[in-house]
Structure 1
Amino acid sequence: ISSLAALLLGHLRMNVDQSIDTLLNIATAIPSAFSDDQATLEENAKSLQKTVKEAIKECGIALDVKMEDKRLSSKCKVAIYAATVVNLGHPVIFRTYSQRGLYTNLTIVDAICSALSNPSTFAPVIVGQRHRQQKYVGGVLGANNPTRELLKEAGNIFGEDICIAQVLSLGAGRPQVSRLSDSTPAGGSRVLEELTLDCEGVAAELSARLSGVEAYLRLNVDRGMESIGIHEWDDLGPIETHTSTYMNDTAIRACVDA
Structure 2
Amino acid sequence: DGGDIRCFSQLLILEELMHRLEYDHGRPVRPCEFFHSITGVGAAGAIAVFLGVLGMTVAEATEAFIGICEMVFAVDACDDKLRSERLVLAIKVVLDKLDIPYTTRLAGDIERSAGYRSICYSSAAIAGCRMFRNYKSKQASYNPTIVEAVRACWATPGLFASVIIGNGPQKEEIISAVHGFNNPTPQAVQEARELYGTDRAVSALLSLGSG
Q: Please state which band the TM-score falls in when normalised by the shorter chain.
A: 0.7 to 0.9
Establish whether residue 147 from structure 1 lines up as the match of residue 185 from structure 2.
yes
Give me the whole-angstrom Cα distance separating, in 1, the residues matched to 2:49 and 2:83: 22
Q: Greater RCO between the two (CA within 8 Å, min separation 6)?
A: 2
Q: Specify the alignment match of 2:47 in structure 1.
A: 5
Root mean square deviation, CA, Å: 2.1
The structure 1 residue matched to 2:97, chosen from 58, 66, 72, is 58
Which of 19, 22, 46 does residue 64 from structure 2 map onto? 22
Q: Distance in 1 between matches of 2:90 and 2:128?
A: 27
Question: 2: distance between equivalents of 1:131 and 1:29?
Answer: 34
> Are 2:121 and 1:79 aligned?
no
Query: 1:129-161: per-residue Cα shift (whole Å, max 9, x none)?
Result: 354321111134321111111001101111112
Secondary structure of residue in 1 paired with 2:128: strand
Deviation string 1:189-230 (CA, Å, 9 cap, x unpaired) is: xxxxxxxxxxxxxxxxxxxxxxxxxxxxxxxxxxxxxxxxxx
Deviations 1:3-54 (A, max 9, x none): 3223212221112211100011122344379x9xxx9222111111111111
The 1:123–1:171 alpha-carbon spacing in structure 2 relative to 1, beyond 3 Å, is same
Q: Distance in 2 between matches of 1:17 and 1:83?
A: 29
Instruction: Give the structure 1 partner of residue 28 of structure 2.
Output: none
1:137 corresponds, among 175, 182, 187, to 175
CA distance in 2, matches of 1:71, 1:166: 26
TM-score by length of 1: 0.60
Amino acid at match of 1:55: V
The whole-number CA distance in structure 2 between the counterparts of 1:101 and 1:6 is: 20
SS of corresponding position for 2:207: strand
Aligned match of 1:200? none
Q: Is the 8 A contact 1:90 1:141 kept in 2?
A: no
Could you tell me which residue of structure 2 aligns to residue 93 of structure 1? 131
Q: Paired residue for 1:115, among 136, 153, 157? A: 153
Based on CA coordinates, which of the two structures has the bigger radius of gyration? 1
Deviation at 1:57, TM superposition (A): 1.9
Q: Distance in 2 between matches of 1:148 and 1:20?
A: 26
What's the secondary structure of 1:142's corresponding residue?
helix
TM normalised by structure 2 equals 0.72
Unaligned runs of 5+ in 1: 174-258
Change (3 A) 1:129 1:104: closer
Q: Which runs of 5+ in 2 are unaligned?
A: 1-42
| In 2: Cα distance, 1:155 partner to 1:86 partner | 28
Q: What is the alpha-carbon distance in structure 1 between the residues aligned to residue 138 and residue 162 of structure 2?
A: 27
Tell me how many residue pairs correspond in the alignment. Answer: 168
Describe how 1:1-258 pairs up with structure 2 within 5 A.
1-31=43-73, 40-72=79-111, 74-87=113-126, 89-173=127-211
Deviation readout 1:45-99 (Å, 9 max, x if unpaired)? 1111111111122122111111102443532211111111112x31120111111
